[in-house]
Copies of this chain bind each other. A is one copy, B any other.
Amino acid sequence: MSYSRRTTINCENNPESDCAIEASLSILGGKWKLKIYKALRSGKPLRFTEIKTLLEPISDKSLTAQLREMEEDNLLTREVYPVIPPKVEYGLTTLGNSLEGIFIALEQWGKTYIDQR
């Protein structure tokens, strides 16, 4: 998708309710976001490397970037354990869990689309 990320979503010049949709897409539009959601959807927090293994072939750089953005957007929590080597666990927030509806809708429609060919 090409919904660029924004720092502040401005609904001012959006008299209609496009804004809500734009918000959703700007937040979920990253190439790996929904896959990260999927990895964490079970409820169990995962470590950086565990997520990375699940999403392969994602790069370290991309994974950190996407995780940071999702954290900023309050979709997931990041817990740092002060040990060496480092240990960091990521889990879904309440807002993160509320993505389920979108996930299901996209999955269902995708199946419909694929079937129709």
Contact = CB atoms under 8 A, between A and B. Distances in A.
Contacts of A25: 1, 34, 106
Can you tell how many copies of this chain the complex includes?
A: 2
B114 A20 contact: yes
Contact of A24 (B2, B9, B35, B110): B110
Nearest to A18: B35
A81 interface: no
Contacts of A34: 21, 25
Interface of A: 1-3, 9, 11, 17-25, 27-31, 34-35, 38, 73-74, 95, 98-99, 101-114, 116
17 contacts: A1-B3, A1-B30, A1-B31, A9-B114, A11-B114, A17-B111, A20-B107, A20-B108, A20-B110, A20-B113, A21-B103, A21-B107, A24-B109, A95-B116, A98-B109, A101-B109, A102-B109
